[in-house]
């Protein structure tokens, strides 16, 4: 079966509004380009207890979850430590991560025209960025070589940890998708068909929606109401979405039901998911 995909965004700066989250729309885009979809997203501030609890749920879920942010080595970065707590594992310096971080430090020294001092305190501290829960696998970082990491929980959930910086996180997420989940790409093409229904009330259309879902169990009915749309005014976008092979029949039954209801229908919309 195609796995369920989730997303965790870590950072006080997102919840305070200091920075706007760019990860969720991008992850939706990356998944959609491969015929996949995002099932949920969790936002959590820099609270170790909350991060740990969120990760415990992810590891127990059986889902594929991407976690963005908090894997640096400053005092407000807690994600690596919380992942270890959630898994009940110790933190260890990953040998491949250590090699990559040392390589990065040497690159920076050459760029600055200064000698590389492996034992300098700040360089020793930077190795903390390679301290991951025991058994972790690294995720290559094409931007600056400082890797992310992946872990699996006893419940079957796989969590892939990447930095909060989009320029690093997005290609790392793509690498994980291509390397580990390509077998699920475009397995079940999804589509969505909907229509604008003018002046309708959701409560009046609910029995029709319930009937369509009962008749077509592979399809989901959705209703997006609007009260002040600049073009359509008060209306509902009513539609069905699901496997491309199942949607057409459900769509015809929905339109027939709207006709019998006497609904005032406007433009129809089609979207491939």
174: exposed, middle or buried (Cβ count in 10 Å: 0-12, 13-18, 19+): middle
- Overall size of the chain counted in residues: 273
DSSP class of 128: G
Per-residue model confidence (pLDDT) at position 28? 96
Q: Which CATH number applies to 190-272: 3.40.50.1100, 3.30.70.260, 3.10.20.740, 3.30.565.10?
A: 3.30.70.260
Per-residue model confidence (pLDDT) at position 190? 87
Per-residue model confidence (pLDDT) at position 55? 98
Where exactly does CATH 3.40.980.10 map onto the chain? 5-184
Per-residue model confidence (pLDDT) at position 47? 97
Q: Residues in the chain with pLDDT < 70?
A: none
Per-residue model confidence (pLDDT) at position 235? 94
Q: At what angle do helices 202-215 and 247-261 cross, to 10 degrees?
A: 140
DSSP class of 169: H
Place of tokens 């959609």: 32
Take residue 118 and report the two structure tokens written for it: 């492996």
Per-residue model confidence (pLDDT) at position 189? 83
Per-residue model confidence (pLDDT) at position 69? 97
Check: CATH 3.40.980.10 for 5-184? yes
Per-residue model confidence (pLDDT) at position 1? 85
Per-residue model confidence (pLDDT) at position 271? 87
Where exactly does CATH 3.30.70.260 map onto the chain? 190-272
């Amino acid at each position: 079966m195609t796995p369920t995909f989730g997303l965790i965004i870590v950072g006080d700066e997102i919840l305070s509004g200091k920075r706007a989250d760019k990860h969720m729309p991008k992850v939706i885009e990356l998944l959609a380009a491969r015929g996949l979809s995002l099932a949920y997203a969790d936002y959590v501030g820099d609270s170790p207890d909350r991060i740990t609890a969120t990760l415990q749920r992810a590891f127990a879920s059986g889902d594929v979850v991407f976690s963005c942010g908090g894997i640096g080595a400053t005092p407000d970065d807690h994600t690596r430590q919380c992942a270890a707590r959630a898994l009940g594992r110790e933190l260890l310096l990953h040998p491949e991560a250590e090699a990559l971080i040392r390589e990065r430090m040497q690159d920076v020294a050459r760029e600055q025209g200064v000698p590389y001092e492996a034992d300098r305190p700040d360089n020793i501290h930077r190795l903390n960025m390679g301290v991951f829960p025991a058994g972790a696998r690294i995720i290559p970082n094409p931007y600056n070589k400082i890797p992310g990491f992946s872990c699996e929980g006893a419940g079957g959930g796989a969590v892939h940890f990447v930095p909060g910086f989009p320029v690093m996180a997005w290609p790392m997420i793509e690498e994980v998708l291509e390397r580990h989940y390509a077998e699920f790409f475009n397995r079940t093409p999804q589509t969505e068909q909907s229509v604008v229904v003018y002046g309708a009330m959701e409560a009046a259309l609910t029995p029709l929606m319930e009937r369509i879902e009962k008749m077509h169990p592979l399809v989901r009915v959705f209703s997006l109401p609007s009260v002040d749309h600049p073009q359509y005014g008060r209306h509902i976008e009513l539609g069905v979405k699901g496997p491309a092979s199942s949607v057409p029949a459900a769509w015809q039954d929905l339109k027939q039901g709207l006709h019998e209801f006497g609904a005032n229908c406007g433009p129809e919309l089609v979207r491939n998911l």
